[in-house]
Chains A and B, each alone.
Chain A
Amino acid sequence: MSIMLEVENVSKSFGGVQANKTISLTVPEGEIVGLIGPNGSGKTTLFSSIVGQHPIDEGSIRFEGEEISKLRVPQIARLGLLRTFQQTRIYGQMTCVQNMIISASVRKTGYSDLFKSQRHSEHGRAEEMLEFVGLYEKRFLRAGELSFGQQKLLEFAMALMNEPKLLMLDEPTAGINPTLINGLIDRLKRANSQFGVTLFVIEHNMRVIMNLAEHIYCLAHGELLAAGTPDQIRNNQDVVDAYLGAH
């Protein structure tokens, strides 16, 4: 299995705060990889570094073998590396269907394609994806009118609409009610198996991440604390001390 994302010795500091310290990790193609750690341990900073939101201080980030640490956000997104946000971000005044259509992949299209009329096939796919996350009935509502949890689902659907190769999800289940969480885990797994999207997931809900991920990295104080399978992580004393706490 080839390596899709390779982060090597990445460091990033904001003023005196060292948010990431020489972090190295890999995400193999087709897998679901988890990223856990206490609040402020640098998980979201690492995500932002990977997608090019801020320059990294040192290190290298490669996506499918290509160095991307110098590229800008839209360029990286067009390569097929996408993220969702912890604070859900959708286009509030547009309808769900419009949110979906404008999220359709721009990877294989040029600038002039923006001036073509909205295609029927896109409408169809938009509705299919909304159905996939259970928002079909609400498709003509403005996205801003949806509840927080529904917006989170919409954001997930928008990401899938973009047909990314690698999707990085920042706390996909935060703020979603417990009954919906199981459905979401199932959908994440299906996105991975059916649509072939590699997933890299930040998650605080241990039940979710242990269920979902095949491989987990744990950060603490900006450094990589541990890596391994869910079972190895669960039994790693450092992780228990820093994050999980003794039960």
Chain B
Amino acid sequence: MNIPLQKIIGYVAIAAVGLAAPFVFPNYHSQMAELWLFVVFALTWDLVGGQMGYNSFGNVLFIGVGAYACVVVQVGLFYNIALYTASDGGDQTIYVFDLAQYLTGLAIGLPVAAILAGLVAIFFGSVVLGMRGHYFAICTLGLGVAAGQVAAGWEWIGAGSGMTPPNPPDNIHDLSEFYYFFSFVLAIATFATIRWLLSTRFGLALNAIRDDEDKAEAMGLPTKSIKVTAWMVAAVFLGISGGILGNIKRFIDPIDVAFAGETYGVWMVLMAILGGKGTIWGPVIGATIFQVLKEVFWTYLLGWQRVALGLMIVLIVVFFPQGILGWTREKFPQLFGHRVDRKLAREPAE
């Protein structure tokens, strides 16, 4: 396969920035780790919302499932979960995790988070993906909210007072760099997976469903399985990112961290739209711009940061609905390969 030189340079540049960033800006580890998670959020949202045209407002469901699944495994491998949560989410003097335990917990917890989130997507997807347009959007919104309420009422996982992931062992003080690189690798893996998916017939099938699902069905495409598969792929990556998110935040609140529809749930849609729905780079660009703006608002407009963010959402949706790459494609279609090719075809048969 031939990859053009510019692309290679581009990838190398991103890798270099990603690897160097934590050493250049040592004070911003968690914000930058969050940025890479946002890239995962936006990319996975766009796979279903942008490429397939199913606008989900409930993808936080998978983040939450992942966050809880991971931490339950991390704790449950070594202690009784009910007692752990009852003691206010882990008394540091009783619930100690040494390095081996901590890493084992993560190594098993993250895959479990991925698998469980994927299964949840298959289960709910087989039901709600039968609905289209607004009905699907509202139904997923409901799923996200309901999941938060269920988690907030479930004593075993701490109910409304949430759950604390294991404290890192004493001999390791700062795990922020570790989680930064973990998030970075996850973002790259997500990007590579989605890029590959879009290069296959599966990618075209997603676009076909977006453009005209009835037609796709009439042409014999197994639309139901395709839709569920796409949502499942999104869920797997969101599940892992949920597991990481809980450990970065060091506290899982059922509604503000795990099933945070108001923040992550809305933001992931916004990031994808800002960058350009239905493009592979759009969500990446959108997530980056969004995270920088968000941090700027939080730093310089404290007290008004949510107003500023809300205003930005309105402005983007009203004046820039196609996003950065969508706008570029509209203005310069030839850059995206849409052109009239007057080159003569081979001599017509016969």
Contact = CB atoms under 8 A, between A and B. Distances in A.
Interface of A: 51, 53, 73-74, 77-78, 82-83, 85, 89-95, 98, 101-103, 105-107, 111, 113-118, 127-128, 131-132, 136-142, 145, 158, 162
Contact of B212 (A73, A89, A115, A117): A89
Contacts of B27: none
B210 A93 contact: yes
Contact of B345 (A78, A131, A140, A141): A131
Given A77-B219, A98-B207, A103-B219, A116 B214 contact: no
B200 A77 contact: no
Which bucket holds chain B's interface residue count? 35 or more
B204 A131 contact: no
B62 to A, nearest CB: 22
A230 B205 CA distance: 41
Nearest to B212: A89
Nearest to A77: B220
Contacts of A158: 219
Which one of B205, B219, B337 has the greatest number of beta carbons of chain A within 10 Å? B219
B155 interface: no
Contact of B221 (A74, A115, A137, A140): A74
Sort A-B residue pairs by CB-CB distance and give the 9 closest, nearest first. A77-B220, A91-B211, A102-B204, A89-B215, A136-B345, A114-B202, A78-B220, A131-B345, A73-B217
B4 interface: no
B218 A82 contact: yes
B76 interface: no
Contacts of A102: 201, 204-205, 207-208, 216, 219, 221
Contacts of A162: 219-220
Contact of A94 (B207, B223, B342, B348): B207
A41 to B, nearest CB: 22
A117 B210 CA distance: 20
B170 interface: no
B130 interface: no
Contacts of A82: 218-220
Contacts of B26: none
A91 B338 contact: no
Nearest to B348: A131
B301 to A, nearest CB: 38
A134 to B, nearest CB: 9
B225 to A, nearest CB: 6
A85 B216 CA distance: 12
Nearest to A75: B220
A92 B218 contact: no
24 contacts: A73-B217, A74-B220, A74-B222, A82-B220, A89-B212, A90-B211, A90-B215, A91-B207, A91-B211, A91-B212, A91-B215, A94-B204, A102-B201, A102-B216, A107-B220, A115-B197, A116-B201, A118-B199, A118-B200, A128-B349, A132-B348, A136-B341, A137-B340, A140-B339
Contacts of B221: 74, 102, 106
Contact of A85 (B207, B210, B215, B222): B215
B337 A140 contact: yes
A162 B301 CA distance: 58
B313 interface: no
A115 B226 CA distance: 11
Contacts of B211: 90-94
A136 B348 CA distance: 11
Interface string B8-52: 000000000000000000000000000000000000000000000
Contacts of B7: none
B338 A141 contact: yes
Contacts of B201: 101-102, 113-116, 118
Contacts of A139: 341
Contact of B217 (A74, A103, A115, A117): A74
Given A91-B208, A141-B340, 4 more contacts: A73-B217, A102-B208, A106-B220, A117-B199
Contact of A140 (B215, B216, B220, B341): B341
A78 B222 CA distance: 9
A192 to B, nearest CB: 15
A215 B141 CA distance: 54
